[in-house]
């Protein structure tokens, strides 16, 4: 049996680079979502606290600001590593297309520094700025988060539907139009799809923490408000996300037919395509899946007569290879999104009838699970986005195998990166748990009468 160094030496740079990008992107995307949406949830809590004199909401906003700072710091490190990887792992891509691809990242850098500055002002200003002045100091954090997310996703969507440049006789990029690069056709659905995903992940994620607390018997108003604010944000984002996701799927069918055919395991072009739920895509068919005749064509063009392009019209060397992975990831994303929508409807029904949470303990259990489920759906969606574009790094212009570095030792770099991200993840979790424990100890030391005021300035 060959030893590990030999196996590493024989493995391709392409596989090592892909694994490293998958690791770093899969890790960072969670923090990116929290960085985009958590500040908005924090500001909603502060707004409620100042508008209605709600001390519990103000205390939540103050505490959440510390969690936002921790997550931003960890995300800054993981995002920096990811940015460097683009040049280190894919030098041919950056050399050829950097003039176009780099535009969005330059813009994102401006938003990143703006967000960092105002997070510092917001946290430092809790006891130093007048009430509403402090609230308004947090608004740029939300705006910068949205702008940064839009810029990065515009770069990714450009890789899916590139435009805004010419190629000279040597194949080099010339005559770059920044506006056309940023407003590529895929950006119209990828940007809102990512932003609403961020609000779902942050909303359900934060709410799940308080749902767990309520399941443990902490049914005070502090936990109730801590649950309701983020859950309501996620509840508003979820139905909009389902609509945007449906629009995105049709956009992919029109502009990236190979990706769509792989997602849905459509092997032969034609109308009346069957929609398969689950199953394994192999040997030109879907095994063990639940088929609904005509539904796939209907979802693409609102008619079962809609012709859907299959893999039979895609050149063999341009077909995505991991069909079952893509199909399963797409089903997981859609399935979890549907389940979260049902949870939202359950909440809305109870609130409409009684202005209260559903009485069943299963609602809290489901809400506690929703935080993890939303992250799984997020990761599944990014698998569809990135794996579905294979073998292209820039759709129709450059393949991934032509972009990868020929430097040696990538597997060792991957190992170091894995270790770094493990430490980052563990550090973030430990820090947040320390904060949580400190807050519980502070609450336990305060008066327990129902309407006793909290100590002024408690954090």
Query: Model confidence over 125-154: pLDDT tens digits?
Result: 998 998 899 999 999 999 999 999 999 999
Q: Find out whether 33 and 241 touch, Cβ atoms under 8 Å.
A: no
Which range, of 30-34, 148-152, 168-172, 260-264, averages the lowest pLDDT? 168-172
Q: How confident is the model at residue 448 (pLDDT cuts 50, 70, 90)?
A: very low
- Number of alpha helices (DSSP H) and beta strands (DSSP E) in the chain: 14, 8
| CA 209/CA 172 separation, integer angstroms | 51
Residue 119 scores a pLDDT above 90: yes
Of all residues in the chain, the percent with pLDDT exceeding 70 is 94
The pLDDT of residue 151 is: 93
| CA 458/CA 452 separation, integer angstroms | 14
Q: Which residues contact 434 (CB under 8 A, 6 or more apart)?
A: none
Burial of 404 (0-12, 13-18, 19+ CB in 10 A): buried
Average pLDDT score over residue span 65-80: 90
Give the global pTM. 0.90
Residue 185 scores a pLDDT above 60: yes
Element (H, E) at 132: helix 131-160
Q: Find out whether 370 and 207 touch, Cβ atoms under 8 Å.
A: yes
The pLDDT of residue 168 is: 84
Q: How confident is the model at residue 331 (pLDDT cuts 50, 70, 90)?
A: very high
Cis peptide before 391 (omega within 30 of 0): yes
Query: Model confidence over 217-228: pLDDT tens digits?
Result: 888 889 999 999
Both tokens assigned to 393: 């790094």
Domain parsing of the chain, residue ranges: 26-250+327-445
């Amino acid at each position: 049996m060959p030893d590990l160094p030999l196996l590493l030496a024989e493995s391709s740079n392409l596989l090592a680079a892909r694994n490293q990008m998958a690791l770093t992107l899969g890790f960072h995307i969670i923090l990116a979502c929290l960085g985009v949406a958590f500040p908005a949830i924090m500001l909603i809590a502060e707004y409620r606290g100042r508008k209605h004199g709600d001390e519990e909401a103000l205390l939540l906003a103050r505490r959440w600001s510390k969690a936002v700072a921790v997550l931003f710091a960890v995300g800054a490190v993981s995002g920096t590593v990811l940015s460097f990887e683009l040049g280190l792992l894919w030098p041919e891509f950056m050399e050829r297309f950097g003039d176009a691809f780099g535009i969005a990242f330059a813009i994102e850098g401006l938003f990143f520094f703006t967000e960092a500055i105002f997070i510092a002002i917001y946290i430092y200003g809790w006891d130093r700025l007048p009430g509403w002045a402090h609230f308004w100091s947090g608004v740029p954090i939300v705006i910068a988060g949205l702008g940064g997310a839009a810029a990065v996703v515009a770069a990714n969507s450009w890789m899916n539907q590139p435009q805004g440049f010419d190629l000279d006789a040597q194949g080099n990029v010339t005559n770059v139009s920044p506006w056309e690069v940023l407003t590529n056709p895929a950006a119209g659905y990828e940007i809102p799809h990512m932003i609403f995903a961020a609000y779902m992940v942050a909303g359900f994620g934060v709410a799940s923490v308080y749902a767990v607390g309520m399941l443990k018997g902490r049914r005070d108003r502090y936990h109730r408000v801590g649950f309701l604010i983020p859950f309501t944000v996620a509840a508003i984002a979820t139905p909009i996300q389902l609509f945007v996701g449906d629009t995105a799927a049709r956009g992919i069918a029109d502009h990236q037919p190979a990706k769509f055919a792989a997602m849905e395991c459509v092997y032969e072009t034609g109308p009346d395509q069957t929609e398969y739920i689950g199953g394994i895509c192999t040997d030109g068919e879907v095994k063990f899946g639940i088929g609904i005749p005509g539904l796939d064509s209907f979802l693409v063009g609102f008619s079962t007569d809609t012709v859907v392009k299959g893999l039979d019209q895609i050149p063999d060397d341009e077909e995505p290879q991991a069909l079952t992975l893509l199909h399963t990831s797409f089903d997981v994303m859609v399935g979890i999104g549907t389940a979260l929508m049902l949870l939202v409807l359950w909440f809305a029904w109870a609130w409409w009838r009684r202005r209260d949470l559903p009485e069943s303990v299963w609602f809290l259990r489901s809400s506690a699970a929703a935080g993890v489920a939303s992250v799984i759906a997020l990761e599944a969606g990014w698998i569809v986005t990135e794996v579905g574009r294979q073998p292209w790094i820039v759709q129709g212009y450059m393949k991934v195998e032509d972009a990868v570095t020929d430097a040696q030792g990538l597997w060792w770099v991957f190992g170091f990166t894995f270790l770094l991200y493990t430490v980052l993840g563990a550090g973030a979790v430990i820090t947040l748990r320390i904060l949580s424990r400190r807050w519980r100890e502070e609450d336990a030391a305060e008066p327990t009468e129902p309407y006793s005021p909290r100590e002024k300035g408690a954090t």
